[in-house]
Structure 1
Amino acid sequence: MYALREGLRQILRHPTASLATFFTALVSFALLYFLGLVLWNLERVVQTLERELEVAAFLQKGANVEALLTEIQGWPEVGEVRLQSKEEALAQLVLDYPYLAEAKDLVENPLPDTLRLRLKAPEAVRTVAERLRKLPGVEGVEYGGELTERLVQVLSGSRLAMGVLVGLLLLNTFFSVMGSIRLSLESRKEALGIMLLVGATRRFIQAPFVVEGILLTLGASLLAVAFGSLLYLGLAQALQGLLPFLPVLGVKDLWQTGLMVLALAVVLGAGGAFMATRAYLREV
């Protein structure tokens, strides 16, 4: 109770420095939380596209289907391969576009037999497509991997950029906490000297300042998580209204990410305060 009471007093004793640290931490944690959710959601989108990724190999008339199936099934990148006859392809086309139902009886079926492949490793889609084009009896190859490949590249670049940004934000918060605690230490310089003379331990002296650091960063992180959750849920709802198939994070995911941010806030607050008091006590 002593540490908590003194920590609150020190925050009120220096409102300007405390507010500066609070708002620095607020901006850092809000960006960290919201960008983390966006990046995680982008990963979900990429994973969904990878699961649905399919390579189609269009066959020439008279192609040896059995030989092609046997060879392709032996490729390590391929998880499943199946034959879609031209009749099945036409039936699926009519199902997707009902207005073609009358036209199909007027002309000969122009669609080829098709081999459809599901891959174990979606990143190998370009290699598999090139290998398919070289097989005898394959007339053409199509796959929807271009969009997935671009999203993977965006995701990799986003991870790197976010890593640098998060590092800078956390360092900024850490040193802001240290600066605020240093000011509190200077304002109580005489009292701390007397406490050391009468035998107070360093841990006893450090405790109120560590509590002060935790209160500043934890309060900022709580507000940041609340604001970031409302912003994310609003954007997710708007996006799903436009793109209902788009996967979004659930409330459980938001809780999980929020708890991680709160834990990080406690570590930063306690760590910054501890390092500031440790350096000060060494000087004394």
Structure 2
Amino acid sequence: MYAIREGLRQIRRHPTSSLATFFTALVSFALLYFLGLLLWNLERVVETLERELEVAAFLQSGANVEALLTEIQGWPEVGEVRLQSKEEALAQLVLDYPYLAEAKDLVENPLPDTLRLRLKETGAVRQVAERLKRLPGVEGVEYGGELTERLVQVLSGSRLAMGLLVGLLLLNTFFSVMGSIRLSVESRKEALSIMLLVGATRRFIQGPFLWEGVILTLSAGVLAVLLGGLLYRALAQAVQGLLPFLPILSTPDLWRTGGVVLLLAAVLGAGGAYAASRAYLREV
């Protein structure tokens, strides 16, 4: 209790540096939490698109369907292949767009028979599509891989950008904690020297400074998680109102991410305080 009480007292002694450290940590952890949720959500979207990714091969009239099915089923990348007749395709089109129900009786069915493939390896979609185009009886191939590939590229670039940004923010927070604790140490130099002379251990002396750093960063982390969670929820509800099929993170996911941020906040606070107080103890 002595260490916690002294840590709080030192925060009150230096309100300006303490507030500077608090708000630096708040901005860092809020960005870390919010961007982490967005990145995780983007990964969920990509995973969903990859699971639903389908390659469609449109067949020419008179194509040997059995031979095509037999060959394609032997490809290692293909998990499932099925034939969708042109009648089934038209029925599905009418189901999706009911206003076409009357028009379908006025004109001949223009849709071709189609082979629909689900892949085991979504990364091989482009190669499979190119191979399908070369098969006899295949008139054309379509797949939604372009969007998925672009999202994967965005995801990779976002991971790299976030890694750099988070690294800079955390370093900024770490050195901000060090500066604040260093100021606390400087203001108590005489008292600390006396404590060392009367036999106080280094661990006993460092305790209040460690708690000072942890209290500053952990309180900032708690507020950052609350604000970031509210912002994410508001944004997720707005997006789902426009695109209800997109997945969003659940409440347990938010708590899990928040727990990681709070753990990181405690480690940074304790680490910065330990580094600053240890530097002083080395000098004396």
TM-score, with structure 2 as normaliser = 0.98
Post-superposition offset of 1:10: 0.5
What corresponds to 2:111 in structure 1?
111
Post-superposition offset of 1:99: 2.5
What corresponds to 2:261 in structure 1?
261
Q: Helix, strand or coil for the counterpart of 1:247?
A: coil
What corresponds to 2:9 in structure 1?
9
What corresponds to 1:150 in structure 2?
150
Post-superposition offset of 1:269: 0.3
Is the aligned partner of 1:196 residue 2:221?
no
What corresponds to 1:233 in structure 2?
233
Equivalent AA in structure 1 for residue 212 of structure 2: E
What corresponds to 1:123 in structure 2?
123
Give, in whole Å, the separation in 2 of the partners of 1:148 and 1:199: 65
Give, in whole Å, the separation in 1 of the partners of 2:2 and 2:160: 43
Q: Percent same amino acid at aligned positions?
A: 86
Give, in whole Å, the separation in 2 of the partners of 1:199 and 1:71: 83
Give, in whole Å, the separation in 2 of the partners of 1:96 and 1:182: 67
Give, in whole Å, the separation in 1 of the partners of 2:37 and 2:187: 40
What corresponds to 1:98 in structure 2?
98
What corresponds to 2:160 in structure 1?
160
Give, in whole Å, the separation in 1 of the partners of 2:96 and 2:20: 59
Is the aligned partner of 1:175 residue 2:175?
yes
Give, in whole Å, the separation in 2 of the partners of 1:23 and 1:107: 68
Equivalent AA in structure 1 for residue 50 of structure 2: E
Is the aligned partner of 1:19 residue 2:33?
no
Taking only aligned residues, the RMSD between alpha carbons, in angstroms, comes to 0.9
Give, in whole Å, the separation in 1 of the partners of 2:94 and 2:224: 51
Q: Which runs of 5+ in 2 are unaligned?
A: none
Give, in whole Å, the separation in 2 of the partners of 1:244 and 1:209: 49
4+ residue segments displaced more than 6 Å:
none
What corresponds to 1:210 in structure 2?
210
TM-score, with structure 1 as normaliser = 0.98
Post-superposition offset of 1:161: 0.1
Q: Helix, strand or coil for the counterpart of 1:107?
A: coil
Is the aligned partner of 1:52 residue 2:37?
no
Equivalent AA in structure 2 for residue 34 of structure 1: F
Post-superposition offset of 1:79: 1.0
Q: Helix, strand or coil for the counterpart of 1:108?
A: coil
